[in-house]
Structures are given as C-alpha cells and as structure tokens.
Amino acid sequence: MAEKPLSSPPPTSLARAERFVWLTARVLEQRRFAYHFLRGGADQVETALAAYLNEDGGYGHALEPDLRGPVSQPLHTAQALRVLDSIGRCGGLRVERICRYLTEVSTHEGALPAIHPSQRPYPSAPFVPVVDSPPSALLTTGPVVGLLHRNQVWHAWLFRATEFCWSAVESLEKTHPYEVEAAVAFLDGAPDRSRAEAAADRLGRLVREQRLAVLDPDRQEEYPVAEGYAPGELHFPHDYARVPDSLAARWFTDEEMARSLDRLAADQEEDGGWPIRWRAWAPGSALESRPIVTVEALRTLRAHGRAVD
C-alpha cells in the first residue's frame, strides 16, 4: 500500500501577506514590507520614497493614493514622514527641507490644510474636496507635528503648528474617528507629557461616550457610522492604539483590545491582503491602498505581541 504524501502546513499570515504584496504593491510598499518583515534595508525604502519627492521639498505623485497627480500635498508629505519615521530616518537635511515646504503651505494659523488648492487640476477622492482657501485641519497637522516632536525635530514652523494642535485637541467636543486618530498622533508625540495625558484622558471619555470605537466586534451593527463615512466604516481600539504605549491604549480594557486585535487578524482576506474600509472611488487608488493597509495591519499586530509569522 502506497504511503500518503505528507500534507504541507497551511501558509502563515505573513506568507499570505507577502504573496499579496509581491502581486499587487508598488515598489515602495514592497520595500517597506521587506524592511519590516524580511530584514530589508532602510536605504532601499528611502530610495523608493525619493521617487515621490518634488523640488519644493514636498511629496506628490499619488503617494497618498486618494490624491492623484504630481503636485506636492500636505497629505502626501505626512505619509512620507510616517515612512521615514518607521525606518528611523526622520531627521537631518531631508526633514529640514520638508519643514520648509510645510511652512510654505501652512495657513495663517500655522497649521496644515487637508488639501492645498494646487490639487484642483488633478483627480482626487470626492470625500476630500478642493477649496480655494482651505481651513486648518487637525486631521493633517496633528500626525505631522506629533511625529516631528517624537523625533526631536525643531523648526520655527513647529511652534505655531503645535499651538494650533493644542487648541484644536483641547476644544474637541463632537468629533469623528479620523480626527481622534490625528489627535492621538499629536498627543503621543507632544513634549508636554502631563498636558498630553490630561488631554488624552478627556478624549478617551469622548470616544466612549460617542461610541467611536467598536468594543464588541460581534455587535458592530449597533455602533454608529460617522457622517460622510462609507457604510461599515467603523473604527476599533487598535485603530487608535497602534502600539501598546500609545496614550489611547489606556482607553480600553485588556479584553476590549484583545477582541479588537482578534478582529484585525481575522480581517485578512483570502488573497492575503487586508481590505480598505473607506469608500473606494477609483480602481487604481483602491489597489494601491490595500498593500499600505496590509503592511500597517501586520505592524500593528506585531507591536501588540501577536504572532504574524
């Protein structure tokens, strides 16, 4: 009687994600994946990122996939800073040049608009409208300012931008999940830690009172979707606390965070990638966004001690 062949073990979450990345991702996300999970080099990531850099010191060329076209935008530049931060390269002349760009596009308050009017000739997502005189936006400014402070970057523009962020965060009342994420990103890097902790405590109460985090994934239909969001575009504890030492981690019990991470792990799709939850408006932007989301999902799971390989 012939022996039955040994069956291969099922591919790990990381192996499935790796295949997805090689099949679908831009060079930048391929190199980011290699850096974080395959012992790739930071130089290769920075080389790929440089393709999106413009002469004005900002970043464009659809680095943030929901804004198409070549022009520099604050959202693209914020994404570039997140990439540099993740590889330990958020400093030096490269960041000085970025800060000069941010100074030039900031509003009279010293903050950043979500979209600069230079985007008008090019396609962009309908949920990020272009206006001639865009207001200051915590959504854009908070993550940039918090990240720069965390990397001990000092620039004249940061003083005004920091004051804007403090005022915006401490006056939040009725809010929405992406604004909360931006506030947390600022508070996690703000140098005044006692003030940041107090502001985070208040913000956490708002999140729970306004039910902006799904605490029981099995009952998510009971949680409200924010105005303007896509159906099912809900946020979970891990969306606010991407790393365990985030101030937002204090808002949730161990059980709530565990359920959230269980849900994140379970969201990996059959093709190995994670889905986008916001409204898909163009095939290219959705295709480019999923590898970004996939890399961040794996990083979040690993940061919280979940095995991905």
Q: What is the pLDDT of residue 288?
A: 98
Q: What is the pLDDT of residue 9?
A: 72
Give the mean pLDDT per block of 10 residues along the chain (309 residues): 63 95 98 98 98 97 97 97 97 93 95 96 93 93 98 95 98 97 98 98 98 96 94 97 98 98 97 96 96 98 91
Q: What is the pLDDT of residue 10?
A: 76
Asked whether 184 and 200 are in contact (CB, 8 A), the reply is yes
Phi and psi angles of residue 139, each rounded to the nearest 5 degrees, phi first? -55, -40
Q: What is the pLDDT of residue 215?
A: 97
Q: Which residues pair with 59 in a beta bridge?
A: 53
Q: Which pTM value belongs to this model? A: 0.94
Q: What is the pLDDT of residue 309?
A: 75
Q: What is the pLDDT of residue 261?
A: 98
